[in-house]
Amino acid sequence: MHLQSLTPSSSHYYFIKPISHFPTPTSRSFRIQCAYRYDPITYPNAVGPSRADWQSSCAILSSQSQLLSQDDPSSPASDHLVSSVNGHNSTIENLNLVPITNLSDSTALKPQPKPLTITDLAPAPMHGSNLRVAYQGVPGAYSEAAAGKAYPNCDAIPCDQFEVAFQSVELWIADRAVLPVENSLGGSIHRNYDLLLRHKLHIVGEVQLPVHHCLLALPGVRKEYLTRVISHPQALAQCEHTLTKLGLNVTREAVDDTAGAAEFVAINNLRDTAAIASARAAELYGLDILANGIQDDSGNVTRFVMLAREPIIPRTDRPFKTSIVFAHEKGTSVLFKVLSAFAFRNISLTKIESRPHRSHPIRVVDGADAGTAKHFEYLFYVDFEASMAEPRAQNALAEVQEFTSFLRVLGSYPMDMTPWSPSRED
């Protein structure tokens, strides 16, 4: 059975249809639905155009449907009329019928879920609070201290390798990564430069951390009892002269990181072995500090970069630094032209680093009379003091691109302008 009343002026119509899927199929229940109608057809028995008119019509249809239900003696409405629509009072003020746009669309009345965005998956808290920051090493490493300086109150996530730190950000396990790229004494950390090119993360900041080395051993151990000192290779090199001055006749053994050396001594209860690490590592692993500040040069600073999945928006209201990597195929004369693009615009370079081009390690040059020559191919990493928001930086890179076969901006980010002083015990 199908009853309907239409209002051509408001383009709505109402109909009654049986609901056969309710738990009591024997009771002939009916439901009223309202929908838009877009064809302007005039019907002779149409009701007035006002909302009250079509709500009244709907209520009348509801009453008629209840009368029809009296045909079934088992129906609850057989002994009296129920003036309700879908279980609600059918007075005009309480109907509040909701029109739907398409009767064939069963989900039209249901609220649709909001599409997920990147911020829904891993929102980035402000000011480093609860930010997940990956670093290489174990708790007590200098990289952990750099992560805390870059993002105060962050959740530091230790990683056993640099590669794992990169992957943790790419896989949304961490929000940021803080990794060293150069040291004032040991030079560049080439592994991380290679990983910057291999992965698609962006440099979003930098932080410089003074390095303060300590000689650590188990409680009660004296320096003259030591036969071995373990630490990271750069830490051993940075403390070579001081260890000699201390009169230690010890062998030097390299391990993955400084804090890992302290942990190794503590876990294995090595009373003949000392570790070179930070004072925080001594606190964490219950070691004594036998000698403080044993680095050969007090100006020992490590530069770390902060990595993220998305770049930041460059600005011009504070000093910015931009890092790029490029390759060329026509010899050193092209390198001169590339560097001239920055010099012509008075852009200062803070670093230039060459790395072997792994995809094309050797370039063969054929000479008509001189025979064949082989040259190594290189990638060049350059840092310069300018923001990508500045026209001079944009124009410089546009000119660089004319002379290079490959150019990539690793990041444009704020410079670390915090005051620096020689390494000392806090």
Residues with a catalytic annotation lie at 302, 304
Spatial distance between the Cα atoms of 310 and 88, rounded to a whole number of angstroms: 53
Q: Are 28 and 68 in contact (CB under 8 A)?
A: yes
Find all residues with CB under 8 Å of 82, minimum gap 6, and list them.
Answer: 66, 76
Helix axes 162-170, 190-198, angle to 10 degrees: 30
Buried b (16+ CB within 10 A) or exposed e, 57-69: bbbebbeebbebb
